[in-house]
Structure 1
Amino acid sequence: MTKLETKWYAEWFNTKYYHILYKDRDYKEAQFFMKNLVKYLQLAPKSKILDLACGRGRHSIYLHKMGFEVIGTDLSKNSIDLAKKHEQPGLSFKVQDMSKALGLEFDAVFNLFTSFGYFEKEENNLNTIKAIKAELKSDGFGVIDFMNTKKVINNLVSRDAKTVEGIEFHQERWVENNFIFKQIDFEDHSVEYSFTERVNALTLKDFQNYFDQAGIQLLSVFGDYHLHEFDEEKSDRLILIFQ
């Protein structure tokens, strides 16, 4: 049996099963969010955008089609290898730890779809914020699209099962030590697998604390991809825009 104990995100995201389980993610919703976001930020054509923790690059690819120069980075080599198939002038991908600055400056840095709070050490959350700051031009915008932790916890489904491509994924969820856990067990070709996702249950207050320590100004807080006002009880997302 395969079991992840440390750096689960590095290994789980690198498997084909991660992409099978989450293959039904809404691409139209993602594109809708990108349109609203770049309009709100008033990004000029050819602006340089860093898509931080880009996965296979779905946001990066769409942003490039919108006319921006995009670099997508992710810790998963397999994901970046797949994303690289879409590379062309103005669109590139690189394996990179997001808690370490890339050494380039951008008009905007996007961290999307709850791609934050995975680290074993909380200090790396702050290091990631500091890295984003270092990657922004003086007038650039940082964006973190995170889950609304309070609503997620209040509506947590403790157990369920989901069959995708003939694989039955059994999922168990719980909260422990300020982390939201999801254990995923399944069998494929007579081999049993077990992976455990873990995301820090960060709130708006936690992010404000990181921003204060990093010397970052929080500009706007939204609660969904329509960019409606954030409501801790009702909003689906916690979308932070900062400089």
Structure 2
Amino acid sequence: MAPVISPGWYRSFFDELYLHTYDPLLTPEYTRAQVDDLEILLELSPPADILDMPCGQGRHSIELARRGYRVTGVDLSAYLLGVARERARSAGVDDEALELVHCDMREFVRPRSYDVALNLFSSFGYLEDEEQDARVMAAFFECLRPGGRLVMEMIHKYWLLRSGHEHLWVETPGAFTLERVRFDVATDRTETERIVILDDGRVERRHFSVRQYSLVELAQMARRAGFELVGAYGTLRGDEPLTLESRRMVAVFRRP
């Protein structure tokens, strides 16, 4: 039987246990390479005002601020924002370069304040339905200046379906993470049961549900918000076209 997913799972999911799985995989070197790719993709150089939403533990926000961009990182997880603040201080990034805001993505709106908005690492589709996701898209549109661009990077829905990705086993320092993934064809959501076995013997179970969007579906939502699609790629650098074989999907939208 599929797990029962409680609405609002994302409100408590992103905590210390989340970092047990992802922190060892998302190394500083990997993050620096991703920011290099973003600069190439957008032909971007400082200064520029950048919105990173959600920003999680701040890995992209901190690296961008360290390079001289003015960054606002927004997240709903108070825990991850606390981690981001500590890491920013350790990196020598001050509050003028990086502002961290505790807020729901649907509610954060600063009209025409940013040149670039980022939604990275499959951070879209968490909400209860497409209407709620559309509110996030509209918030991005309102936050960008005319000519501003939104970069969305996520798992490619068609690769996911073609690969038959159903089970995952990840070993990281201090924990083993196991996942069982079910794609619900009635909702286009992946329903995932995650089990984390910690070295101290604790076993933690989590469930999460993510709406998976194709490029066409995402572009339609963005168009309704006022965006135009200006690029679709299989890599964050933008050096490969999006194909059925692409594991990741990168979509770039522009506010006219």
Q: TM-score, normalised by structure 1?
A: 0.90
Q: State the identity %.
A: 23
Work out whether residues 50 and 108 of structure 1, in 8 Å CA contact, stay in contact via their aligned partners in 2.
Answer: yes
Matched with 1:200 is 211
Q: Distance in 1 between matches of 2:26 and 2:124?
A: 18
Matched with 2:16 is 16
Q: Distance in 2 between matches of 1:69 and 1:154?
A: 40
Letter in 1 for 2:219: Q
Matched with 1:226 is 237
Query: Is 1:152 the counterpart of 2:153 in the alignment?
Result: no
Q: 1:230 to 1:124 in 2, by over 3 A?
A: farther
Give CA-to-partner distance per residue, 1:155-187, whole Å, 9 cap, x none.
233234334334333311110121012211235
Letter in 2 for 1:93: L
Query: Is 1:214 the counterpart of 2:221 in the alignment?
Result: no
Matched with 2:44 is 43
Matched with 1:111 is 119
Q: How does 1:69-88 map to 2 (within 5 A)?
A: 69-85=70-86, 86=88, 88=94
Query: Aligned-pair distance for 1:193?
Result: 2.4
Q: 1:21 to 1:40 in 2, by over 3 A?
A: closer
Letter in 2 for 1:16: E
Provide the secondary structure at the position in 2 that maps to 1:25. coil
Query: Aligned-pair distance for 1:27?
Result: 3.8
- Structure 1 gaps of 5+ residues are none
Work out whether residues 153 and 236 of structure 2, in 8 Å CA contact, stay in contact via their aligned partners in 1.
Answer: no
Matched with 1:33 is 34
Matched with 1:168 is 176
Q: Distance in 1 between matches of 2:42 and 2:174?
A: 42
Matched with 1:96 is 103
Query: Aligned-pair distance for 1:56?
Result: 0.6
Please identify, of 207-216 and 223-232, the stretch whose mean Cα deviation from structure 2 is larger.
Answer: 223-232
Q: How does 1:176-191 map to 2 (within 5 A)?
A: 176=184, 177-188=187-198, 191=202
Q: Distance in 1 between matches of 2:179 and 2:55?
A: 24
Give CA-to-partner distance per residue, 1:137-160, whole Å, 9 cap, x none.
112111111211110222233234
Q: Distance in 1 between matches of 2:47 and 2:168?
A: 44
Work out whether residues 153 and 249 of structure 2, in 8 Å CA contact, stay in contact via their aligned partners in 1.
Answer: yes
Provide the secondary structure at the position in 1 that maps to 2:127. coil
Query: Aligned-pair distance for 1:98?
Result: 1.1
Letter in 2 for 1:96: C
Work out whether residues 101 and 134 of structure 1, in 8 Å CA contact, stay in contact via their aligned partners in 2.
Answer: no
